Amino acid sequence: MKRILVTHDGSKASDKALKKAVEIALKFESSITVLSVVPELYLTELSDMDRQRILETMTEETRNAMEKIRQSLAGKSMDVKIVLRQGDPAEKILETAKKMKVDLIVTGSHGRHGAKKFLLGSVSSRIVDYATIPVLVVK
């Protein structure tokens, strides 16, 4: 296991997934890629200009959060990449995993918008359903 992709959306579950991915990467001398996806906005009641401003704000917040993660992992003895994408989270995660030829996807069980009443959040569920490589869902 040489390449690990971990998803991160700022939630507590994704923090736990990152911690587990780092643990695995250190144990197996793997590289780790932290991926965050800024979701598309489908709010029809907003103007295109407002939607664009919100998207820019979300992207900047995500970029700042990813930089903090990069800094927190700087002292670890492993190769770390930070990747930021925009679009449908599950689709972008699966596309990135395939493109980067990763050996494992690590994701949290629920994102920031995950409902506790469900076993898995919609993004993690779709990743599990459609991934062609092993997926570790961290609760």
pLDDT in tens, 15-43: 999 999 999 999 999 999 999 999 887 76
pLDDT in tens, 47-72: 888 888 999 999 999 999 999 999 99
pLDDT in tens, 80-102: 999 999 999 999 999 999 999 99
- Three-state SS letters, 72-122: HHCCCCCCEEEEEEECCHHHHHHHHHHHHCCCEEEEECCCCCCCCCCCCCH
119: pLDDT strictly greater than 70: no
116: pLDDT strictly greater than 80: no
Per-domain residue ranges of the chain? 3-138
State the Cα angle at 72 between 78 and 3, rounded to 5°.
Answer: 30
Write down the pTM of the prediction.
0.89
- Local structure of residue 40 (DSSP, 8 states): P
Tell me, which fold does domain 3-138 have in CATH?
Rossmann fold (3.40.50)
